[in-house]
Structure 1
Amino acid sequence: MAPAADKKVTGLVAATFTPFTTQGEIDTSVIGPYIDYLLEKQGIKSIFVNGTTGESMSLTVAERKVLAEEWCQKAKGRMDQVIVHVGCMSVKDSQDLARHAAQIGADGIAVIAPFFFKPRTAETLRAFMKEVASAAPNLPFYYYQIPGLTGVHVNVRDVIEGIEDLIPSFRGVKFTGSDLMDFGQCVSNCQPEWSVLYGVDEQLLAGLAMGAHGAVGSTYNYIGCHVNKLLSAFEKGDLVQARSIQFKMQELLSYAMKLGFDVGVNKQLMSELSGLSLGPPRLPLTPCPHDRIEQITQKYRTVF
């Protein structure tokens, strides 16, 4: 039985960071306060866990299960959507995580393309996704496209063509790329129950103009309250206000990128701005020098 189509993902979805102790072990004690912060301070009602921002490729399958269960348990009855990323290099590990996500009450699962042995065609990628989706056939399934990290440059339009026949639970795409032609083709060819979610925070307004139903991003953890105003302005047709907020986001992120902005730096910025103790990133990511994060934090306060 295919999943119900009454929980379409819209609006902002925060891609969550994984809290670690100072010793580098996962720290689930932070997850409850983290959800409180997103809801109360940022107006964020949906989360995407164990993704790129959550350093999923640096976690064990067992760690990912513990985290997914804690996020789902703490968000139950409070958040609209908890989407769990279950992509791995091994289709068997991905299936294991997909089954687990179904057991713990996740609202959906997502999968990136495997990137060591890369699928070279849309057909091969679709076959991989079909195997993963089959392990949790009643959970909404999303393809998470991020070619900048996977190196898999297969047009998403080709991936989704007729995919509802192959994967009845397919419900959309997290599109983290700058090819707006491919993105537009996804939007124009999607089924009514699908969500096409844009994943490049600094170009969100362009994604909205092309018809994005929502957005998934790391910066919404700490600037979600501002970006919600961007969404509201866009919906009202106030492009001047929407651009103003987008340009502020770009000013902050371009400044951070010049200083070297990766998941580790982003995580530390979230810790500074939220007051949550998220700990260091896990190798091969390295902690951010204190002076650099101070500069970015000051820039945030100047811009917003």
Structure 2
Amino acid sequence: MCGPIVFTFSQNSEINLSEIGPYIDYLKEKQGVNSIFVNGTTGESMSLSVAERRDLAEEWCRKAKGKMDQVIVHVGCMSLKDSQELARHAAQIGADGIAVISPSFFKPSTADALRTFLHEVSSVAPNLPFFYYHIPSVTGVNILARDILEDVWELIPSFKGVKFSGSDLMDFGQCVSYCQTHWSVLYGVDEQLLAALVMGADGAVGSTYNYLGCHASELMSAFEKGNIVQARTIQFKMQELLSYAKKLGFDLGVNKQLMNELSGLCLGPPRLPVMQCPMSEALTIAKKYRSLFTEC
């Protein structure tokens, strides 16, 4: 299981590197997270400059060495040149892999166009395992992930899988069915994790695993042991929490404030245009969390 990182800002929205060490310890010791996904959606990467993303990736790789099994750095940008710069940098700092999201302002119109973009990014870091990060609800790019995989290894020999953060389980299943034995399909819709495991997910990457990581691990362990009733019970609790949170306007800002409350870390506010949520909302959701889950 992989935890996407909530990025740490000071109160004036400047990046705060000092909290990264305690954050890593929290994820590993309290949540059982052994791999991390850096500079993704939860990390507000599209609100960061290239220089900030370089600084953060470097510090995460440095602090996670010897503690985390893998650090995958998301390097996708609207600009191909920026994506390539971040991919080169990820290789230099010892990242274990890179992931790339689709550009979403000038959107690729076909699977071939998106594959070509991914190839151009991967070509500057050919020895790093490469993942396509599929999240159509954010990018607005509704090309099926399965279509992106078609003969992708011919363009990207370092291709190692998909971070699938979409709700289309048919497309997800087709990805699993098509995948090569040395690829991984990682699922990123936390409230549907059990369904993805049934379909053949190799792992999970989700923003709520920052505070639900140990419970998601229990769900996955129960599934592997064939205890579907236990796995379903945990999934239903996760769904109840997220359904409750969504009624209160659950978004990136709320999720970050909830993470602050439940972890005890000081991760700071989100960066505009994401708004900081009222403390009362985070406390209400935290109370709901504590009514559903016991501490791991």
TM-score range for the pair, normalised by the shorter chain length: over 0.9
| Cα distance between partner residues in 2 of 1:136 and 1:237 | 40
| Cα distance in 1, alignment partners of residues 147 and 34 from structure 2 | 31
How many angstroms apart in 1 are the aligned matches of 2:75 and 2:122? 10
Q: Tell me whether 1:27 sits opposite 2:16 in the alignment.
A: yes
1:190 to 163, 179, 189: 179
Query: Aligned equivalents of 1:290 and 1:106: distance in 2?
Result: 35
User: Residues 120-175 of structure 1, C-alpha deviation per residue, up to 9 Å, x if partnerless?
Assistant: 10000000000000010000000000000100000111100111111000000000
Q: What pairs up with 1:37-186 in 2 under 5 angstroms?
A: 37-186=26-175
Q: How does 1:289-300 map to 2 (within 5 A)?
A: 289-300=278-289
1:6 is matched with none
Letter in 1 for 2:251: D
Where in structure 1 are there 5+ consecutive unaligned residues? 1-11
- Tell me the TM-score normalised to structure 2 length: 0.98
Q: TM-score, normalised by structure 1?
A: 0.96
Q: Does structure 1 conserve the Cα–Cα contact (< 8 Å) formed by 2:257 and 2:279? A: no
Instruction: Mark the runs of 5 or more structure 2 residues left unpaired by the alignment.
Output: none
Once residues 11 and 106 of structure 2 are traced to their aligned partners in structure 1, the CA distance between those partners, rounded to angstroms, is 34
Task: Tell me by how many angstroms 1:43 deviates.
Answer: 0.6
Provide the rounded CA distance (Å) in 2 between the counterparts of 1:201 and 1:40: 21
Cα deviations across residues 21-59 of structure 1 (Å, max 9, x unaligned)? 011100000000000001110110000010000000000
CA distance, structure 1, for counterparts of residue 268 and residue 50 of structure 2: 20
Partner of 2:229: 240
Deviation of the 1:180 alpha carbon:
0.6
Of all paired residues, the percent bearing the same amino acid is 72
* Number of residue equivalences: 293
Give RMSD over aligned pairs: 0.5
Q: Which of residues 177, 194, 213 is equivalent to 1:205?
A: 194
Q: Of 186, 201, 209, which residue of structure 2 is paired with 1:220?
A: 209
* CA distance in 2 between partners of 1:212 and 1:283 (Å): 34
Aligned to 1:272: 261
Paired with 1:199 and 1:290, the residues of 2 have a C-alpha distance of 27
State whether structure 2 residue 291 is matched by structure 1 residue 281. no
Question: How far off its partner does 1:290 sit?
Answer: 1.3
The one-letter code of the counterpart of 2:91 is A
How many Å separate the matches in 1 of 2:279 and 2:138?
Answer: 26
Paired residue type of 1:234: F
Indicate the structure whose relative CO is greater, using CA pairs within 8 Å and at least 6 residues apart.
Answer: 1
- By how many angstroms is 1:190 displaced? 0.3
